[in-house]
Amino acid sequence: VAAIELRGVVKSFQSHGETVTAVRGVDLSIAEGEFFSLLGPSGCGKTTTMRMIAGFDEPTEGQIILHGGDVVGVPPNRRDVNMVFQSYALFPHMSVFENVAFGLRRKNTPKDEVTRRVGEMLEIVDLAGRDKRRPRELSGGQQQRVALARALVNRPRALLLDEPLGALDLKLRQAMQVELKRIQREVGITFVYVTHDQGEALTMSDRIAVMNEGVIEQLGPPRQVYERPATAFVAGFIGTSNVLSGTVARTDGGTAVIEPGPGERILVPGAAAAGDVELTVRPEKIAIGLHPPDGDVCALRGTVTEVVYLGTFTNYTVRTSTGAEVVVFVQNASSADDVAASGDTVWLSWEPRHSY
């Protein structure tokens, strides 16, 4: 059975005499042991979804099933999940040990078991030896790990994390992403992770649900969500993408051909034989050169408007003959010079399978 299942979940709030629908019919199924992310912009309904799984809010409609049992109406402390918030809210006057032990003590766990389990947990979050410190004597990343240990020590079957790294600076956040993934693997429980940061979701997740305005626009593994965005929203929200458009001139064996100018072609397999087509290409899928490309590839002429050297990559911005601004990421070989300079006329090319 699934660890967490949502069926037709809707949540509306009454706010100043108006009905705000935060979640508009969400269906999803999260497997036991999965690292699952809810990714979407601020206000899309991520926190509301998590609060319903945890039991802090009840759905207006639909079912929530945890480990096979319908939990609608079941209070948070009787659900086998735990939640970690962005503001980790540690008890400031208690030591690290006491913060982590808090939940166990409340359940009258025998003293030596408390010592053993808290010790194990501090080991896992890499805070062994810091057990006597107060939260204010720890860095932000360490405090976040105490909050994690405090949630995990109760051995929930699933852990819900709502933007847990939001308060940390970029470097620490990246280090913690790796840590969180390791900890999840080590404890082997289901993690549901909420973030508005696409990089974070792509790095850590087994699967991602991309949310927008209360609905899931796409659900799949990171590579699929990135390489094959199901909607324009997903394409725009995840990664950088170039959107091109044109009118189909002819078809060639099931492939629609757009011919913006001499030598230029955009090949769109499976598109309608006539009419306007809009397509998306990722910046790293496009090659840039000084001559028209050979072969069955898409080709567009343009003028370089900006070159930004970034070490590993150089980013080119190119204004095409059709007036579109196209961003191209070129990976820098060890001794290569820039492919082109600002003002140069260049040719962009990519394989048709890389646009969608």
- HEC-encoded secondary structure of 144-185: HHHHHHHHHCCCCCEEEEECCCCCCCHHHHHHHHHHHHHHHH
Q: Which residue of 4, 30, 44, 346 would you call a contact of ligand ADP, by CB under 6 A?
A: 44
Is the dihedral angle over the CA atoms 285, 288, 292, 295 positive or is it negative?
negative
Tokens 């003293």 — which residue? 111
Smallest gap from Cβ 70 to ligand ADP, in A, equals: 22
Residue 164 interacting with ligand ADP (CB under 6 A): no
Smallest gap from Cβ 146 to Mg ion, in A, equals: 22
52: three-class secondary structure by DSSP: helix
Choose from Mg ion, ligand ADP, none: what does 44 bind? Cβ within 5-8 Å by kind. ligand ADP
Residue 198 interacting with ligand ADP (CB under 6 A): no
Smallest gap from Cβ 24 to ligand ADP, in A, equals: 10
Pairing of strands 158-162, 190-195: parallel
Choose from Mg ion, ligand ADP, none: what does 222 bind? Cβ within 5-8 Å by kind. none
- Nearest-CB residue to Mg ion? 47
Choose from ligand ADP, Mg ion, none: what does 161 bind? Cβ within 5-8 Å by kind. none
**Distances from the Cα of 199 to the Cα of 37, 137, 195, 259, angstroms:** 11, 30, 10, 35
- Identity of the residue, 42 or 108, whose beta carbon is nearer to ligand ADP in the bound complex: 42
Residue 13 interacting with ligand ADP (CB under 6 A): yes
Smallest gap from Cβ 50 to ligand ADP, in A, equals: 8
- Backbone φ and ψ of 175, nearest 5°: -65, -40
- Identity of the residue, 40 or 229, whose beta carbon is nearer to ligand ADP in the bound complex: 40
Smallest gap from Cβ 108 to ligand ADP, in A, equals: 34
Smallest gap from Cβ 39 to Mg ion, in A, equals: 12
**Which 8-state DSSP code applies to residue 333?**
P
Side-by-side strand order, sheet with 345-350: 287-289, 345-350, 298-309, 313-320, 325-331
Q: Which residue of 11, 44, 45, 47 would you call a contact of Mg ion, by CB under 5 A?
A: 47
Interatomic CA distance for residues 29 and 187, integer angstroms = 21
Residue 212 interacting with Mg ion (CB under 5 A): no
Largest CA distance in the chain: 81
Interatomic CA distance for residues 281 and 287, integer angstroms = 11
Residue 45 interacting with ligand ADP (CB under 6 A): yes
Host H or E run for residue 263: none
Binding residues for Mg ion (CB under 5 A): 47
Binding residues for ligand ADP (CB under 6 A): 13, 15, 20, 22, 40, 42-48
